[in-house]
Amino acid sequence: MQTSQIPEIFKAQKIRIRQAEVQPIASRIASLARIKRWIEQNRRQIQDAIFKDFGKPPAEVDLSEIYPVLSEIKHAQKSIEQWTRSIRAAAPVALIGTKSRVIYEPKGVCLIISPWNFPFNLTVAPLVSALTAGNRVILKPSELTPNCSSLIEKMVSELFDPDEVAVIPGGKEVAEQLLKLPFDHIFFTGSPKVGKIVMQNAAQNLSSVTLELGGKSPAVVDVSANLEDTAEKLVWGKFLNCGQTCIAPDYVLVEETVEEALLEHMISYVDKFFDPEGEGIDASNSYSRIISSQHLQRLDLLLSEALDEQAFLECGGVVDYQQMYFAPTIVSKVGLDTRLMQEEIFGPILPVICYSKLSEVIEQINQRPKPLALYVFSESKTFVDRVIKETSSGSMAINDCIIQFMNPNLPFGGVNNSGFGKSHGFRGFQAFSNEKSIITQKTGMTSVKPLYPPYTGLTQKAIDLLLKYL
């Protein structure tokens, strides 16, 4: 679709949603089945496109792009009848004789703007939620993954009419043009900086927003943690997608007496995962590349600034601009005021910082914006409970990382700077639905009639009774 077609497509979608009765459940189920079949038939193309975009290994595409979308579709197919059922609500005594219920109606015409880091997953999974809720949708995938974005455009054009779902490719300028339109909901995944721009634009039309943003997600390693297991999970979670994951552990806070052992295990897992034959990590077919040379340069600079400030390079640090390669890198003794510890890293550099008391950890976390994810590795229930109770974050995983994303029964999303509104499963359906309240009264009846004017002494007595007892 061309940018010049935006007004026409938007208008056509608005007209279609107004004319149509609420999209029947059967046709929503059919749309989900069409997407599922297309993905199953085009799995190879999805792998190839994302490999071309940033060298992501096909197995990782299966695991982190295809599996989450298929799982979202299957969950929606199983649950749609239940989610779309109207829910009876109880009424207070003052409303005796009435019937109350809540129905979920589609919000209408929705915009989904997605990032490049999980380009298929983070575009198609919200589409699944929007269609399950019965909406019309315009998608704006990222300009930084042209191969995957064109494939999504192809998928949508094969499966839907543009007045149902349309893809508008392009970058910032296209997004800005789309954001001027009065969408019924905007679902944005990206950086907090652009999230603010999206919200400002949405405010002009009072469009509701879901903002799935980023930030620095800490991992805390207590003295009681199983260090080898922790190291293995942290190395997997951090270097998956070459560290370009919104919920990757951004930095590690480790109890000082176990720092050395944790570092040893982590360094050994980097080799076990990415260089088992000793041929060099740049030869590994299990490790992605950095998305663009600007991103590579930014990471390179973040690392060299930290090293200039006396951080210690435990492993990695190798950068190859030809190959867009940045080695899995672990650094210790990092200054808290370096940019590495101030900005979201969003790449394969893992700073490890020591602490001596839990109160220091809690203070460190709470003085920064609330994270999207927080990870705790500990065998102590008291330790874990204190972190749960004394910090705020979008999600937490105890003794693991990343896996909270894989459970469609858990709401996924951030809090304040890391975003708001939730996605996945029922919460995704809810984000794209208007929860409409309906109360039905019998003609001629109402238990609140004694409260109508004129406000006589008798009315006042009825009001007093209401305040006191009902």
Where do contacts with ligand NAD occur on this chain (CB under 6 A)? 113-117, 122, 140, 142-143, 171-172, 175-176, 179, 189-191, 194, 197-198, 212-214, 246, 344, 346, 372, 414, 419
| 405 C-beta neighbours (distance < 10 Å), count | 20
Name the minimum Å distance from CB 455 to ligand NAD. 52
Q: Which letter does DSSP use for residue 338 in this model?
A: S
**336/217 Cα distance (integer angstroms):** 15
Say which of 164, 212, 259, 314 is annotated catalytic.
Answer: 212
**Among the listed residues 103, 83, 69, the one whose alpha carbon sits nearest the alpha carbon of residue 438:** 103
Residue 212: active-site member? yes
Q: Could you tell me if 418 and 371 are in contact, meaning their C-beta atoms sit under 8 angstroms apart?
A: yes
Closest CB to ligand NAD among 6 and 175?
A: 175
Amino acid present at 140: K
CB of 159 to ligand NAD, least distance (A): 21
Task: For Cα atoms 420, 32, 28, give the angle at the middle one, nearest 5 degrees.
Answer: 85
Pick the closer one to ligand NAD by CB: 405 or 426: 405
- Angle CA 82–43–154, to nearest 5: 85
Strand order in the sheet with 433-440: 87-89, 99-106, 433-440
Helix (H, G, I), strand (E, B), or coil: what is residue 96? coil
Question: In the complex, what is the shortest distance from the CB of residue 311 to ligand NAD, in angstroms, rounded to a whole number?
Answer: 23
Shortest spacing between CB 172 and ligand NAD, in angstroms: 4
Cβ-closest position to ligand NAD? 214
Closest distance to ligand NAD from the beta carbon of 170 (Å): 7
Give the residue with the Cβ less far from ligand NAD, 328 or 414.
414
Q: Are 174 and 72 in contact (CB under 8 A)?
A: no
- The least distance separating ligand NAD from the CB of residue 119, rounded to whole angstroms, comes to 9
Query: Of these residues, 110, 148, 242, 246, which one is catalytic?
Result: 246
Assess whether 379 carries a catalytic annotation.
no
Give helix 146-159 / helix 43-54 axis angle, nearest 10°: 150
Q: Residue 148 has what DSSP assignment? A: H
Nearer residue to ligand NAD within complex by CB, 145 or 332: 145
Tell me the three state secondary structure of residue 209.
strand
Compare residues 155 and 227 and give the one whose CB is closer to ligand NAD.
155
Q: What are phi and psi of 281, to 5 degrees?
A: -65, -30
Alpha helices, H only, 367-408? 381-390
Which residues participate in catalysis according to the annotation? 212, 246
